[in-house]
Amino acid sequence: MNNGDSSANIPAPERSGILVLCTANVCRSPMAAALLARHLARLGVTVPVRSAGMLSDGVAPDPAAVSAMTSYGIGIAEHRSRVAYPDDLAQAGLVLAMARENLRYAVVTEPAVWPRAFTLKEIIRRAERIGPRPPGEPFPSWLARVHAGRERSMLLGGSAADDVADPTGATPRAYADTASLLDQLVTRLIGLGWAHTIVSPLPDAPPRRRGRPSPGRPRRSREQAFRGGPARPGPQPRPGRARSPPGPGVARDRRRRSQAW
């Protein structure tokens, strides 16, 4: 049952971005948004990632959150909180809430956002059931499959299975643990929604056989090596062909990666 929601309500990703939502927008959501944006940028995926909250505009981030993010080489000190208004939610292609209460706020503020709004833990859990997005499938289509079967009753109450606990007022260690959890969750989400963009590392070069001279390197006979005589010229490397520029298929792939999620 999907309460009559249709994937047609999900805007094309090329025209929208990702909105990360928490309560005050000074701790969890700016940390998660910064981590997600960095992971996507490393894959060459061009999509705006923003964060917002439910309370007020213009508040500086929690100093403990700023400190926790420095260990990841990310600075969020210049961030200022902002409230998520109906237009923000309507324009987002994906809303990632830090907890059910934030998801409820999103759906009450902009009811049409329901098919594309999830808690971060929920979207990972549901996506793991259907599997990673395959190459060629548009992001909205995959998201509609992730959404299929959801019921609005799951918005009620709180759940440890869905919520990332708010560390506000806790020890610096709690902030560091929250940052670590968010990084793990974001990495899992990347592996599901953008698995087809992850490039495998090149295999290691095979080990060179011992005692075999490399091409072009002079060889010395045992007698020459003992007496210090000149080395005999070894086999010369074959002339190689100049590398041609990337073909149209490679260029097309790069353009697709930058134009779509």
For the chain, domains (ranges, CATH) are 16-195 (3.40.50.2300)
pLDDT at position 238 over 50: yes
Check residues 4 and 211 and name the one with the higher pLDDT: 211
Q: Which of 11-20, 62-71, 95-104, 217-226 has the lowest mean pLDDT?
A: 217-226
Q: What is the pLDDT of residues 69-100, one digit of tens each?
A: 999 999 999 999 999 999 999 999 999 999 99
pLDDT (mean) for 96-124: 97
Beta-bridge partners for 50 = 19
Q: What is the pLDDT of residue 195?
A: 83
